[in-house]
Amino acid sequence: MASTVSAFLSGLHRNWTMLNPPAPPKEQNALKFGILGAANIAPMAFISPAQSHPGVIIYAVAARDKTRATAFAKKHSIPVVKDSYDDLLNDPEIDAIYNPLPCGLHFEWTVKALAKGKHVLLEKPSTSNVQEAETLFRHPLLSQSAKPPVLMEAFHSRFTAAFHLFLTTLDQPNISEAFAVSPIPKFIAADDNIRYDYSIAGGSILDLGTYPVSALREAFGAEPTECTEANLVPMAAPRERCDHSFDATFKFPNGGIGKIHGSLRTPVTELGFSNITVKHRPVPAPEEEDAKKEGTQVTRTRTVIFYNFMLSNHYHRIDVTDEFEVTRDSSVVKRYTRKDFKKAYTFEEMGKDANSNPYWSTYRFMLEQFVNRIHGIEGSGKFISHEDSISQARALDMIYTKSGLGPRPNSKYWTENH
């Protein structure tokens, strides 16, 4: 009972501090960031994490409506408001850009930022489709100099100690099935929300489905070879080209099956954590005592469930269940189960030498590694590579193609320049 109360109080303190992080003095060489747009995601995904990072200063913001940008800057203590996106990119004081614009604008303003020599932390999904992703992440601007700007897709969920720990529990070649679920309540996005604007790559697959698809790819450690099934629920007219809920199935190179389910219309009564369940094929377990007996074989079948993989540092649990079967002379003589429950809110908890803090949000873990990458520091070793982002976009396009809705359209800027 005492341990339960202690864990509960620790969780409350961790989450309170996550929402009210300390503000250490900024380093002399801190990177100055500019924010493109006054997006609703920016406070949680970037402004709050930056507050606790000594190497990051939020220097400026720009929005299509300067009045809105001014109000946003005042609310979040951002010292400089620019007249336009171009004005922001032209400021030599700015080292890096955070781009949380609607997906259909990602390609244009990321290319323009890279052309100005700015590092870019790009909100997911990175682009409208794989064609844009290939153009962006293989752009000459990213390879034409000895020290090109850093571009990274902001897949915050994959940077935490918990996600690292989850991956250590998997035997990737022997995964038989993985199922990832991501529910979001209906009140988050009304029917007229920009998430359902087809012209700027709207739809639940890109907005929400990108999380479970990414989780599957990480779990298998491989890219899907085919999307065998895709059932998307479209919005009512005139937004019928955008989906609000999804189910999809992938094949992976090892013969395993990956499935996703999610909705931006989940009833409050059916809400739960984002979970991924990973099942393995039976494999020999020679380390077991029974296996050391002559004529006896032992197999292990593992199931791993990672609860709350999207926002794991608020709360998570990793359940590992191993089912053993002992056979002798082709007959089953014994079965038994071994269960383990794991968690890690810092890298120290999982025995990894990398900077972290229990009050860090998933976004703060990500920001740490983005800044590390700019400075050439290894840190936790995690980085969303350019080819990773291309593969992610390709998997998302597979779903839209299989569903019949088709991939999201290229942006006007991409079309005019290619």
- Of 82, 124, 342, 382, which is the active-site residue? 124
Beta carbons of 95 and 88 less than 8 angstroms apart: no
Q: Which residues are CB-contacts of 264 (< 8 A; sequence separation ≥ 6)?
A: 184, 186, 188, 189, 195, 204, 207, 208, 244, 245
The Cα 399–Cα 245 span in angstroms is 12
Radius of gyration of the chain (CA): 23
Per the annotation, the verdict on 124 as an active-site residue is yes
Q: Exposure string (b/e) for 194-228, b if CB count within 10 Å is 16 or more?
A: ebbbbebbbbbbbbbbbbbbbbbbbbbebbbeebe
DSSP code of residue 286: T
- What SS3 state is found at 339? strand
Q: β-strands 257-266, 275-280: how paired?
A: unpaired
335's enclosing H/E stretch is strand 331-342
Residue 358 has which token pair?
Answer: 């229990």
Residue whose C-alpha is closest to residue 359's, from 346, 372, 342 = 346
- What SS3 state is found at 164? helix
How far is C-alpha 349 from the geometric centre of its chain's CA atoms? 22
* Residues classed as catalytic: 124
